[in-house]
Amino acid sequence: MAQYTRIEVAKVMKDTGIVPLFYHSDIEIVKKVIKSCYDGGARVFEFTNRGDHAQDIFSDVSKWVFKELPGMILGIGSIVDSGTASIFIQKGANFIVSPILNADIAKVCNRRKIAWLPGCGTLSEINYAEELGAEIVKIFPAAQIGGPDFIKSIKAPCPWSSIMPSGGVTPEKENLSNWFKAGAHCVGMGSKLITKDAHGVFDYDQITKLTAKSITIVKDLRNQNL
């Protein structure tokens, strides 16, 4: 059962500004990556449903996070149907992220008052998602849809929309500045944040540094009123 309400999730996503997302079949690697992001200041993490038995990995990681990383909000991504959403909710998911807009997922999440971030690519989809109860919508793949200019264009007629771009976001100041100046609520980051060293091994120290750097950049931008 979710430990955080959808409003709490939305607030923490905005406060930290970044949502790391990651999948790996090795549970120990998953734990180390989450811990690295946590040490860098991240308090939201999206584990992506991209491999066989991902629900089993998530279940174990969810219990570990609850015990070892106080304040970390763990959710699940890459969910495309309501049945899978239900499975992960039972495993402790605090939010559900989807690359698509699926009304059946909304019903499952709303029934439990769990945050649901559907993938949208048009203003009509964003509007429909909000009618279905989405507090934050995900634009994906963000760079291909139109980048920061897309968000800026959406926010002009609909300033109430809270948007999380995912795909094309990097931990550089210029990139993050473009997204947040356009009006992003928060950003999702995967491989650009969760990096490997020259030998192809996950660089946990660098992940911590990039996480902390990204969060600092976002806070500085907001202190400057963008």
- Single out the residue of 188, 192, 187 nearest to residue 207, CA to CA: 192
Segment 161-196, tens digit of pLDDT: 999 999 999 999 999 999 999 999 999 999 999 999
> Residue 38 contacts by C-beta under 8 Å, 6 or more apart in sequence?
45, 69, 72
Q: Tokens for 39? A: 């040490």
- Single out the residue of 52, 42, 53, 120 nearest to residue 75, CA to CA: 42
Domain ranges in the chain are 6-223
The CATH architecture that domain 6-223 belongs to is: Alpha-Beta Barrel (3.20)
Average pLDDT, the chain: 96
Task: For 20, list phi and psi in degrees, rounded to 5.
Answer: -65, 140
| For residue 213, pLDDT beyond 80 | yes
pLDDT bracket for residue 86 (50, 70, 90): very high
Distance CA 47, CA 19 (A): 10
Q: H or E segment at 44? A: strand 44-48
Average pLDDT over residues 91-119: 97
Give pLDDT, residue 42: 98
Segment 36-62, tens digit of pLDDT: 999 999 999 999 999 999 999 999 999
Segment 7-31, tens digit of pLDDT: 999 999 999 999 999 999 999 999 9
